[in-house]
Amino acid sequence: MPDYHISENATAGIGICVLIVLIAIAVTIFILCGMKTKKYEFMEKEDIETVYGVSGMVKEKRDAYHSMYVTQLVIGIACCICSVIPLFGTLAVSESDFYMVSAVCMLLALVAIGTYFIVRSATKMNAMNQLLEEEDYTRQKKHENKKMSGPVTVYWLIATAIYLAWSFTTNDWDRTWIIWPVVGVLFPAFYAIVSGIRKKS
């Protein structure tokens, strides 16, 4: 194993500094993107009417982009699935801390690459679907989402309250995170049940 003669405190300090810089960059990107796309948010909620010829042009562009969309989506998903290979491979051949940390870095890098391809492809496709009011952006689904906004907000607020109450009272922060995968899996069932009740009423 390489010996770089770096103290544990120095390593932790460098890591935290890099983490803070990356968070600052990410927050800046989120704010800038949010400001640019804010004026188009109505397309996700309101019915829209396009100028004559626009729908046909968008459909042509979507059809032309479809193969690229599928390719990027497959690459992104494959990267996320294969991201665990470096970690498991390292566990199989070595228990060295250096190689384990390197494997985790490779895992995160593959997840980042996969996420980039998934988000990039989905963003373009969703933008065209919004203009055409198709897939998840039909007028029926827009109206349904408006009605469901209240229950959905209550659901996630309750989940957050349970997480914080459980975490602060038990101080088991290393275990309480499990609530998020659970509420994430239960959310589609909650949405379907509430939506069905609203339709019947």
- Picking from 83, 109, 136, the residue at the C-terminal end of a domain is 136
Judge if 120 and 73 occupy the same domain: yes
**Contacts of 69 by beta carbon, 8 Å cutoff, 6+ apart:** 121, 124, 125
Judge if 123 and 174 occupy the same domain: no
Judge if 45 and 131 occupy the same domain: yes
Indicate whether 22 belongs to any domain. no
Indicate the pTM of the whole model.
0.68
Judge if 131 and 159 occupy the same domain: no
**Domain carrying residue 194:** 143-201
Q: Report the pLDDT value the prediction gives residue 14, as an integer from 0 to 100.
A: 86
Indicate whether 104 belongs to any domain. yes
Indicate whether 174 belongs to any domain. yes
Judge if 159 and 188 occupy the same domain: yes
Distance CA 145, CA 129 (A): 16
Q: Report the pLDDT value the prediction gives residue 201, as an integer from 0 to 100.
A: 65
Number of CB atoms found within 10 A of residue 69's CB: 16
pLDDT tens, N- to C-terminus, the chain (201 residues): 455 566 777 877 888 898 899 899 989 998 998 888 888 888 777 888 888 888 889 899 999 999 999 999 999 999 999 999 998 888 888 777 778 888 888 998 999 999 999 999 998 998 898 888 888 888 888 887 778 888 899 999 999 999 999 988 988 887 888 898 899 989 989 888 888 887 776
- Picking from 136, 151, 167, the residue at the C-terminal end of a domain is 136
Judge if 130 and 49 occupy the same domain: yes
Judge if 148 and 104 occupy the same domain: no
In total, how many domains does the chain have?
2
Q: What tokens does 140 get?
A: 């029926």
